Amino acid sequence: MAIPSRSKTAVDRRADELDTIASVLPIDRRDELAELLTDQDIETLRHLVNEGMGENTLRALTSDLAYLQAWSRAATGACLPWPAPEALLLKFVAHHLWQPEQRGIDPHHGMPADVERSLREQGFLRASGPHAPDTVRRRLASWSTLTKWRGLTGVFSSPSLKSAIRLAVRATPRPRKRKSAKAVTGDVLTKMLATCGTDSHRDIRDQAILMVAFASGGRRRSEIAGLRRDQLTAEPPIPVEGGPPLPSLAIHLGRTKTSGAEHDEVVYLTGRPVDALNAWLAAAKIEGGSIFRKIDRWGNVSRRALEPGAVNAIVKQRAEMAGLDPAEFSAHGLRSGYLTEAANRGIPLPEAMEQSRHRSVQQASSYYNNATRRSGRAARML
């Protein structure tokens, strides 16, 4: 009985260590991760936290590390070796990028049934079929990053691995899907806001979330969920000819997904979104801490902040209440919708990017150009 006792103590110790970094790295599967990850994995995560890596990046690395460990144990019966041999990397590609047609001919093609069953039972696999190429590339990139942080050299740039990925992607074409099938443009947002018509805490909060997320440049759901009172700074009102001045507010985003460690990203709110946000702060009596919080079934405001997934759920719920198909909308639709709406209103792309804080012109213009191309002169030659 001594061995199970030592094993349980080790798991408990890892769970406690995960708790020490939870304030920086939100973890909702702590107990599962404590059993899955090794002592060295926990130490690597702690090191990354101490290095000041962004929360979103840390979340992604932790998620990918947990998946890789679960896959390795299911596929090889052992934890991930560090550094990983090239054969294991090629096995990972073969298990995740495969052809459904070929599996009909050869049942051993792709991920073995017992490996798939193990990952599905642990909650790591939900959809059927091969993985998206971008998901495989991201997990390999995370694997490479974690290898480097251990002071080791991997073979992630080997010609055979690159060739295997390229050939697998070519053999299994997948149409690229947007994170939100449809953009939440101005007209769609108006319909969603119309569902927030009462003075209930939930309606006041959701109205503020939708307006702030959209008007601040299409903020990511993690940025909205993590927004705190000390990130807000009142600005001088904006004069308007023939009308009262508009309230103005600065949101200090700090370090974001695409900014450097020392760069403080700032975006601005003007007019109605400021009023909506102030209305929520007053109704919920929020003077410090997290801005957007959970609300229980009786309408009581919690001290706990919303999770990023809750922002996505709110967008879908409001879409359904507005008579729209919730499957076609997600929180990312507010981000793509902001740039699409900017294009519809003739706002120059550089000006829109100043608010959205996109670093990649190519990424931003993919939303912007679809709107301008559809309505532009080049599409109306006849």
Low-confidence ranges of the chain (pLDDT < 70): 1-9, 17-32, 34, 51-56, 171-181, 254-264, 356, 358-382
Residue 307 phi, psi (nearest 5): -85, 155
Q: What is the pLDDT of residue 21?
A: 63
Q: How far apart are CA 177 and CA 174, in angstroms?
A: 9
Count of Cβ atoms closer than 10 Å to residue 40 Cβ: 13
| Domain limits, the chain | 54-171, 186-376
Q: What is the pLDDT of residue 31?
A: 65
Q: What is the pLDDT of residue 347?
A: 74
Q: What is the pLDDT of residue 134?
A: 82
- pLDDT tens string 312-333: 999 999 999 999 999 899 888 8
Instruction: Match 């403080």 to its residue by tokens.
Output: 264
Coil, helix or strand at residue 345: coil
Q: What is the pLDDT of residue 176?
A: 52
Residue 223 phi, psi (nearest 5): -70, -40
Q: What is the pLDDT of residue 317?
A: 95
Q: How far apart are CA 30 and CA 243, in angstroms?
A: 54
CATH superfamily, domain at 186-376: Intergrase catalytic core (1.10.443.10)
Q: What is the DSSP letter of 65?
A: H
Q: What is the pLDDT of residue 371?
A: 52
Element spanning 55, H or E: helix 55-76
- pLDDT tens string 283-301: 999 999 999 999 998 989 9
Q: What is the pLDDT of residue 6?
A: 44
**Phi/psi zone of residue 2: left (φ > 0), alpha (ψ -120 to 50 degrees), beta?**
alpha
Q: What is the pLDDT of residue 220?
A: 87
How deeply is 36 buried, as exposed, middle or buried, from its count of CB atoms within 10 A (0-12, 13-18, 19+)? buried
